[in-house]
Copies of this chain bind each other. A is one copy, B any other.
Amino acid sequence: MTTLQECQARDATDPLRPLRDLFSIPPGTIYLDGNSLGAMPKTAAARAAEVVTQEWGQDLIKSWNTAGWFTLPQRLGNRIAPLIGAGPDQAVVTDTTSINLYKVLSAAIAIAKQDAPARRVIMSERSNFPTDLYIAEGLCKAQGFTLKLVEPEEITAALDSALAILMLTHVNYRTGAMHDMASVTAAAHAAGALVVWDLAHSAGAVPVDLQGAGADFAVGCGYKYLNGGPGAPAFLWVSPQHAERFWQPLSGWWGHAAPFAFTPDYQPAPGVTRYLCGTQPMVSLSLLACGLDGFEAAESLGGMAALRAKSLALTDLFIALVEERCQGYGLGLATPREHAQRGSQVCLTREHGSGAFAIMQALIGRGVIGDFRAGDGGVHKDILRFGFTPLYIGFEDVWNAVEQLRLVLASAEWQRPEFNQKHAVT
């Protein structure tokens, strides 16, 4: 059995431990929901004050030049690049993940129509994050394509001559299961398809090497593991081989080759800049820089490789402790045990409608914050979801989180009515 003391000892010798001090975690809270909204870097409040009071309040429109507002999407894209295996000037930060997916899927469809007009299928996982499926569904209807949904284990066999685009989320939001990006991309390419990756649950959580994998397009989220703040703008990456070839339909002035020439005809800018559209929310965008500071601080401590090793150690420990200490309460494990197939979260299952929502509420009442994702009464059980951000989560946190979970289950306190009140946002 693992002891609290052993966990404390692991924290004491953890070289990444100082990074925790970069973040503001509320007292009495063990925050295991950084996969939904990353915790606040301590520098964010001062940065927000600077952008609002100085850049907006004092410098006003001059800040477009003096504060570099106009080039911030590209500069932030270049700072995300090392986390996703992108080269310089291949990524931008802008808009939302959904909208960026619309852009890159539109571009991919245009390429597919030109290079392989007989291919008219976009394939994805049935349990992909729904907004990805909604965006793909809409584009398929508009473009005469078919959206085909399969289970993850069916993907390889379904790579056929009708497939134009394989669109996958690297780490599944419900289970934490991770695809092997390189092998899936290679298999899809061998079958003649383009590959679009959604990195919402992997950028900043696991090492990603888009160029190494030969991927075509990618999008990702700024407010989860990148700690950019609530609703922080998202990012988008385009392989250099596609960068100059096609436009995307959200052809706004920020993506124009000469945005201040105010010419009536649209001329896309070179490279990834053409994936910009309209003016970006500068206060929110600026705060993403504070989140990226954390990864740059981790560089001298081993960078993403070290963060990944700690993440796996944290999730291994959580799985082991749950299995040691929470037996007999109907919990299962949705997340793969294989390291190569696991993201940075652990999802515990319980039969649909058997109290998982209330258990999570009771756990949150005890200061351990995860979240709940409803099952469907069929193949998908209800899920208790826990994200582990190695930048600010420690081994003692894991021990304490499991101990609180055990106490919630053992005491049956979760059956109190107060823990079964639904909210608008779950």
Binding site for B on A (CB under 8 A): 24, 26, 29, 31, 33, 36-37, 39-40, 44-45, 48-49, 51-53, 55-61, 63-65, 69-71, 95-99, 102, 126, 128-131, 133-135, 137-139, 142, 149, 223, 229-234, 247, 249-254, 256, 260-266, 277-285, 287, 369, 371, 373-374, 423-426
Question: Contacts A48-B52, A71-B424, A281-B281 given; 10 further ones with Cβ under 8 A?
Answer: A33-B60, A40-B56, A69-B231, A70-B425, A96-B279, A130-B253, A131-B252, A134-B251, A149-B264, A232-B281
Chain B residues with Cβ under 8 A from A44's Cβ? 52, 56-57
Complex formed: what's the CA distance from A110 to B213 in Å?
Answer: 40
Interface centre among A131, A139, A373, by most B CB within 10 Å?
Answer: A131
Question: With contacts A31-B60, A44-B57 known, is A70 near B26, CB below 8 A?
Answer: no
Decide: B64 and A266 in contact? CB cutoff 8 A.
no
Contacting residue for A138 out of B99, B128, B135, B251, CB 8 A: B251
Question: With contacts A95-B96, A96-B278, A230-B283 known, is A139 near B264, CB below 8 A?
Answer: no
The 9 closest A-B pairs by CB, nearest first: A96-B278, A281-B284, A98-B252, A98-B278, A64-B425, A230-B282, A131-B253, A40-B57, A134-B266
Decide: B278 and A131 in contact? CB cutoff 8 A.
yes
Complex formed: what's the CA distance from A259 to B126 in Å?
Answer: 17
Decide: A102 and B48 in contact? CB cutoff 8 A.
no
Complex formed: what's the CA distance from A251 to B58 in Å?
Answer: 38
Chain B residues with Cβ under 8 A from A59's Cβ? 26
Decide: A99 and B53 in contact? CB cutoff 8 A.
no
Residue ID in chain B nearest A258 by CB atoms:
B130
Decide: A256 and B139 in contact? CB cutoff 8 A.
no
Chain B residues with Cβ under 8 A from A24's Cβ? 53, 57-58
Contacting residue for A45 out of B29, B57, B247, B261, CB 8 A: B57
Residue ID in chain B nearest A423 by CB atoms:
B65
Chain B residues with Cβ under 8 A from A138's Cβ? 247, 249-251, 266
Give min CB distance, A374 to chain B, whole Å: 7
Give min CB distance, A264 to chain B, whole Å: 5
Chain B residues with Cβ under 8 A from A131's Cβ? 252-253, 278
Give min CB distance, A228 to chain B, whole Å: 9
Question: With contacts A131-B253, A256-B130, A423-B65 known, is A56 near B230, CB below 8 A?
Answer: yes
Chain B residues with Cβ under 8 A from A64's Cβ? 423-425
Residue ID in chain B nearest A279 by CB atoms:
B231
Residue ID in chain B nearest A373 by CB atoms:
B262
Complex formed: what's the CA distance from A379 to B98 in Å?
Answer: 41
Contacting residue for A425 out of B230, B260, B373, B426, CB 8 A: B260
Complex formed: what's the CA distance from A71 to B287 in Å?
Answer: 22
Chain B residues with Cβ under 8 A from A55's Cβ? 230
Contacting residue for A264 out of B130, B260, B278, CB 8 A: B130
**11 residue pairs bridging A and B, Cβ less than 8 Å apart:** A26-B58, A26-B60, A29-B60, A39-B60, A48-B51, A60-B369, A69-B425, A97-B278, A97-B279, A137-B266, A262-B374
Residue ID in chain B nearest A55 by CB atoms:
B230
Decide: A282 and B229 in contact? CB cutoff 8 A.
yes
Residue ID in chain B nearest A59 by CB atoms:
B26
Decide: A279 and B45 in contact? CB cutoff 8 A.
no
Interface centre among A56, A63, A251, by most B CB within 10 Å?
Answer: A56
Chain B residues with Cβ under 8 A from A61's Cβ? 33, 36-37, 369, 371
